[in-house]
Structure 1
């Protein structure tokens, strides 16, 4: 049986993970879903955020899913398919080549096992008027391969942003099969069963390379270490991530203050605090917090920006607002 599969793509900060969390919460109780998550950073945050939703999660951290970790991607997909899920969701990194992920999923290797349905692209309508995004090839490629486009965060948009989204959708050729403006990543789960616009497109995966192409990412906390730091760079972006042992506890108020003051374009984390375990998400200068029921979990924090930030200084602050030095 071929497994219904969807790619959910979008640039940094468009709300892909939130959208997938909503889908998992609303999936039929009788169904078992699997999710393959790819992140630009080396640490892996999204899988931790999805753990509580009962889906089988596999992560491929460390850059573009298809080039930086081509073999790990194929291995992860195969492992997920062996569990015979009722649906597979693939979330490529916001800085990845989504069209190459699509080509991999439609390749001869998986054609007998995967029923690839509509690719859903999320976009923040505010970005459709920003040259920084409009001139980014990956941003445009992600929207180009999307059969369905969801304008997310409409509650944070001005009228001009909504007009820009509607104008953009109208100008698409070939036209998208569906578009909608939503908030908090909430779109109808029925969209997942929409067909692709062009299922006969070329399946050839272009040859391309990345500085990490020969490395399978290693992102586990080594024994006898309280924390570990990993960095990545590419496509004009820099990331730095930390994993802290489960015994490390952050002061919640201090942590919230530090994350609020960060000027980075993207910040995500799941961290143990003196008030419990929380997921932190920082986008466009706004910090959102959700309590998690995880116990004995290794805290993870990832920061991404188009500028190289003073990672040593930030690490010092993180140590100061936690109990790292006393362990």
Structure 2
């Protein structure tokens, strides 16, 4: 039985703007006496972000990933099952929801505000991360998803501000005014390391969700909404099959998965622990994706030199070292369809011989 509604925040923003990095910082600085849960959704079928969030031995952080498409557009029974499983298993004090950067977050907001969640979810401020350098680019300011993410934001975080010119921040302010939006605007820099910034953002999390939801966005078909009370332990919604959890990967197995939607494409691979890659070959392969039509590359790879985390946005490649992983995984999101068979051959060519 749920005795107190769970504080819930949606953290949105376009591809590669720093949502996962922010969530890591929030988790690292959350109150010690609280249990937090994170629901991560990715457009690609593989799912990398949950591996990039530092999953320590702490038992006060619960992370669930739903890969393969927009959590927002799939905001019917499967999405509600994922949320309900988090509530049942983690019994969290707060839930952070990170929709895919190319998803429609208004839909997930509407689901969270549905009548059957009124006694379960206490929807708090929605945060939207944005790189102000991109606002002047028509590919962003004319993109309906980019606009939608800003329209639902109670707090807009202008991330990577150390890289801005004066005109960039002004462009963001002007665009918000053009959209007739008045969110709280916070500047963030250096991976959210500025003194007091995370404390300030933790305070923002507790503010109420109040930005408008456009009436022209239709809620999920009412016939898909569950009839039983979600407060009942016997509700079928608590016991739905968790289709987001694939069968375990064997040591010598490789899986390739693709997805497409909203004029975006993804291709990705999972490889078992028996596959070990050469660092230099992998770097050459990742460098080959510095093309205008490649929007994002994310990977966690087992190499002869250790476990490598890879992130590429706008042709900028960043690397980090991880402590452990159960497999290697890579996801590529592009604006044109890529040749999965050719890319897989290139990936396997990076193996240690």
Q: TM-score when scaled to structure 2?
A: 0.83
- Counterpart CA distance in 2 for 1:293 and 1:236 is 36
- For 1:76, the equivalent position in structure 2 comes to 82
Write the deviation string for residues 7-65 of structure 1: whole angstroms up to 9, x where unpaired.
00011111111111111111122221100011000011111112525421111111111
Q: Say whether the 8 Å CA contact 1:221–1:227 is kept in structure 2.
A: no
Shift of 1:169: 3.5
Residue 99 of structure 2 is aligned with which of 92, 95, 100? 92
The correspondence of residues 185-264 of structure 1 with structure 2, limited to 5 A, is 185-186=191-192, 187=197, 188-198=201-211, 205-207=219-221, 216=243, 219-220=246-247, 222-223=249-250, 226-262=253-289, 263=291, 264=294
Change in CA separation of 1:24 and 1:224 when aligned onto 2, cut-off 3 Å: closer
Q: Which runs of 4+ in 1 moved over 6 A?
A: 199-204
1:120-155 alpha-carbon deviations (Å, 9 max, x no partner): 001111221111112211111111011111111222
Q: Distance in 1 between matches of 2:273 and 2:47?
A: 16
Q: What are the ranges of 5 or more consecutive residues in structure 2 without an aligned counterpart?
A: 223-241
Aligned position for 1:42 = 45
Query: 1:74-101 CA deviation, whole Å, 9 max, x = no partner?
Result: 1111111122112100000111110000
For 1:308, the equivalent position in structure 2 comes to 337
Please point out which of 144, 155, 158 is paired with 1:148: 155
Q: How many residues align?
A: 316
Greater shift, 220-229 or 57-66, is seen at 220-229
**What per-residue deviation string (whole Å, max 9, x for no partner) do you get for residues 266-292 of structure 1?**
001111111111211101111111111
Per-residue Cα deviation, 1:177-228 (whole angstroms, up to 9, x for no partner): x1012125524322211222258997971449xxxxxx95575455475210
Structure-1 separation of matches of 2:180 and 2:82: 34
**CA separation of 1:31 and 1:160: change in aligned 2, threshold 3 A:** same
**Equivalent position of 1:275 in the other structure:** 305
